[in-house]
């Protein structure tokens, strides 16, 4: 190993900073842990494990985002649970023409910081209250609490992204508003404790990923809006 990068450097490279939104939850978990260590140490150790998980949940690692025009990147970490051609929700104002929707399911162990799939201007941002069924279910896109965002790109039309709360998730956080300009891969929100993120491509555009594939927010390329490459086929191995 080179002198410029030792074992400690390798260890620290694996650590991620914690997003500020998680500080209060970590503080609460730590306070409860200290209380139970004082009252009943065995339960204190359990709480210590929960506190460590809360720190892990709110991690916010850096990402390397491809910047070539036309690329659509994943808005979330997780497993791609569905790729379907559907009519976007009416609240998004994206018309009645079917579009490819790529759904990414986030477990409680995935990074929950959401990133913009494309660069552009946010032309619509709509919050819809709802239920909290399992986010992996198809009906979650219509029944669950969600935030719908439409990003208008400079040259490739509109791309929609929907944050959907899940069975455990109870809070959708969005850092941007209508009229804001975002860069591709920019952090735009998070969903606390399990969820799903849907990305709607412009009409006629196809996905370059497959169901079951792991996605990394800000890095995994979902589509190329300036290419005529057909939808990719894949197999499990």
Q: What are 38-80's pLDDT values in tens digits?
A: 888 888 899 999 888 888 878 888 999 999 999 999 999 999 9
**Looking up tokens 């959708």, which residue turns up?**
172
CA nearest 59: which of 219, 217, 214? 217
Question: Can you give the residue ranges of every domain in the chain?
Answer: 7-57, 71-224
Structure letter (DSSP) for residue 167: S
Q: Which CATH number fits domain 71-224: 2.60.40, 3.30.1490, 1.10.10, 2.70.70?
A: 2.70.70
Stretch 141-149: mean pLDDT, rounded? 80
In 136-205, at which residue ranges do the beta strands (DSSP E only) sit? 146-152, 158-165, 172-174, 181-182, 187-191, 195-200
**pLDDT of 205-216, one tens digit each?**
999 999 999 999
Q: Is the dihedral of CA 60, 66, 69, 74 positive or negative?
A: negative
Report the alpha-carbon distance of residue 134 to residue 119 in Å, rounded: 30
Q: 106 with 196: CB under 8 angstroms?
A: yes
Q: What pTM does this model have?
A: 0.84
Stretch 114-139: mean pLDDT, rounded? 79
Q: Of 74, 103, 125, 195, which one is the catalytic site residue?
A: 195
The CA–CA distances, whole Å, from 111 to 7, 16, 17, 172, 234 equal 25, 10, 12, 14, 25
195 classed as catalytic: yes
Please report which helix (H) or strand (E) contains residue 27, including its range. helix 23-39
Report the alpha-carbon distance of residue 72 to residue 85 in Å, rounded: 17
pLDDT at 191: 85
Q: 151 with 129: CB under 8 angstroms?
A: no
pLDDT at 1: 43
């Amino acid at each position: 190993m080179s002198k410029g990068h030792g074992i400690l450097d390798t260890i620290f490279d694996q650590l991620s900073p914690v997003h500020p939104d998680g500080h209060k939850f970590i503080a609460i978990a730590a306070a409860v842990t200290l209380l139970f260590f004082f009252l009943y140490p065995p339960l204190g150790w359990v709480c210590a494990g929960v506190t460590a998980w809360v720190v892990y949940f709110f991690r916010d690692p850096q990402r390397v985002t491809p910047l070539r025009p036309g690329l659509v990147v994943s808005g979330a970490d997780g497993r791609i649970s569905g790729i379907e051609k559907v009519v976007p929700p009416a609240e998004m104002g994206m018309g009645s023409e079917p579009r490819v929707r790529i759904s990414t399911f986030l477990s409680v162990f995935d990074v929950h910081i959401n990133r913009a799939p494309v660069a552009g201007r946010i032309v619509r941002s709509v919050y819809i209250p709802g239920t909290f069924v399992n986010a992996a279910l198809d009906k979650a896109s219509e029944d669950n609490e969600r935030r719908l965002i439409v990003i208008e790109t400079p040259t490739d039309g509109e791309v929609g992204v929907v944050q959907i709360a899940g069975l455990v998730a109870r809070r959708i956080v969005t850092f941007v508003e209508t009229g804001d300009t975002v860069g591709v891969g920019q952090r735009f929100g998070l969903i606390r404790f399990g969820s799903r993120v849907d990305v709607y491509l412009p009409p006629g555009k196809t996905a370059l990923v497959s169901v079951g594939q792991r996605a990394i927010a800000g890095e995994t390329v979902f589509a190329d809006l300036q290419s005529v490459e057909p939808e990719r086929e894949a197999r499990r191995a």
